[in-house]
């Protein structure tokens, strides 16, 4: 399936995109409107804004207004609550996206607290998000139940049940452990963390050592069949995903 939003045309812009994942997040709750992040003040519920919307955890690119703009355009309105998820960390998945990045996954990590963002999606927006996440054949959609998710702003102070997309490929591993996303804040993270370019280079060195970094990235974007082969190789070395609170509702 082609990427469900337009890729940049130039090689330079494609490299910048791939290396920038998970894309900037504002470090606060926000209202995505007019294609940008607008204030959503902590401690306010603004109940009408959240009515009829479903909470879905964004732990990778979906936390970023930049990515929401790519997926939904500038006309969409989505409240987004910054939140802290207890006993999970945001780690790298064992797959490569169609735009060349190593994507995020959630991994059960007792004692850790990860900063995530809860997107409050209307029903038609859920359908669009499914198109962008499930079409790439790398994610399940489901619910985390019985978790502790503290919200900075929103209709409630804490959620114990929220939607989420988790990778079916497991987690990128190093030295027997997961690898956190250095761009995502996490307390008491017990394993190492890498920035995106470092994670891509780790995969390149393991699986395509004859390539230089930038040609490797561009080749994974240009050659979908070759990327699938690479993902299959990565999956054989993956750390099994652990998410005991996760209930699968929809597959790829």
Output phi, psi for 174, to 5 deg: -145, 130
Q: Angle at which helices 213-222 and 196-207 pack, to 10 degrees?
A: 80
Domain range summary for the chain, segments of one domain joined by + = 11-250
Rounded distance, CA 96 to CA 149, Å? 28
Using an 8 Å Cβ cutoff, are 84 and 149 in contact? yes
- Give the number of C-alpha atoms closer than 13 A to the C-alpha of residue 159, restricted to the C-beta side: 27
pTM, rounded to two decimals: 0.95
Examine the pLDDT at 65 and tell me if it is beyond 80: yes
Lowest mean pLDDT segment, chosen from 27-41, 44-58, 82-96, 154-168? 44-58
Task: Identify which of 136, 11, 29 has the alpha carbon closest to the alpha carbon of residue 84.
Answer: 29
Q: What would the pLDDT profile of 90-121 be if each residue is shown by its tens digit?
A: 999 999 999 999 999 999 999 999 999 999 99
Residue 99: phi and psi, rounded to 5, are -105, 15
CATH number for the domain running over 11-250: 3.10.490.10
pLDDT at 226: 97
10-14, 134-138, 141-145, 161-165: lowest mean pLDDT where? 134-138
Q: Is the pLDDT of residue 46 over 80?
A: no
Which SS3 state, helix, strand or coil, does residue 131 take? helix
In the numeric block, which tokens belong to residue 78? 């989505």
The token pair that represents 247 in the structure block? 């209930």
pLDDT, position 137: 77
The yes-or-no verdict on residue 44 having pLDDT over 60 is: no
| Confidence bin at 210 (pLDDT 50/70/90) | very high
Mean pLDDT of the chain: 95
Instruction: Say how far apart CA 138 and CA 85 lie, in whole Å.
Output: 22
Q: pLDDT of 155-208, one tens digit each?
A: 999 999 999 999 999 999 999 999 999 999 999 999 999 999 999 999 999 999
Say if residue 132's pLDDT is above 80.
yes
pLDDT band at 49 (very low <50, low <70, confident <90, very high): confident
pLDDT at residue 43 in the model: 59
CA 59 to chain CA mean position, Å:
4
Using one digit for the tens of pLDDT, what is the confidence trace for 221-230?
A: 999 999 999 9
């Amino acid at each position: 399936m082609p990427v469900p939003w337009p890729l940049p045309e130039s090689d330079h812009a494609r490299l910048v995109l791939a290396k920038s994942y998970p894309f900037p997040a504002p470090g606060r709750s926000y209202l995505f409107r007019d294609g940008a992040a607008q204030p959503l003040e902590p401690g306010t519920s603004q109940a009408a804004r959240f009515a009829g919307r479903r909470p879905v955890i964004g732990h990778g690119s979906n936390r970023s207004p930049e990515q929401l703009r790519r997926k939904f355009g500038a006309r969409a309105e989505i409240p987004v609550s910054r939140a802290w998820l207890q006993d999970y960390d945001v780690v790298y998945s064992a797959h490569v996206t169609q735009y060349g990045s190593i994507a995020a996954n959630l991994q059960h990590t007792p004692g850790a607290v990860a900063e995530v963002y809860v997107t409050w999606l209307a029903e038609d927006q859920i359908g669009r998000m499914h198109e962008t996440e499930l079409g790439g054949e790398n994610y399940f959609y489901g619910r985390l139940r019985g978790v502790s998710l503290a919200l900075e702003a929103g209709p409630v102070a804490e959620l114990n049940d929220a939607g989420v997309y988790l990778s079916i490929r497991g987690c990128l591993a190093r030295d027997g452990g997961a690898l956190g996303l250095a761009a995502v804040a996490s307390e008491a993270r017990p394993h190492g963390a890498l920035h995106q370019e470092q994670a891509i280079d780790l995969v390149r060195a393991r699986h395509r050592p004859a390539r230089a970094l930038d040609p490797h990235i561009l080749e994974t974007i240009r050659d979908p069949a070759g990327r699938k082969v690479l993902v299959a190789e990565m999956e054989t070395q993956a750390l099994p995903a652990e998410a005991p609170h996760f209930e699968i509702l929809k597959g790829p």
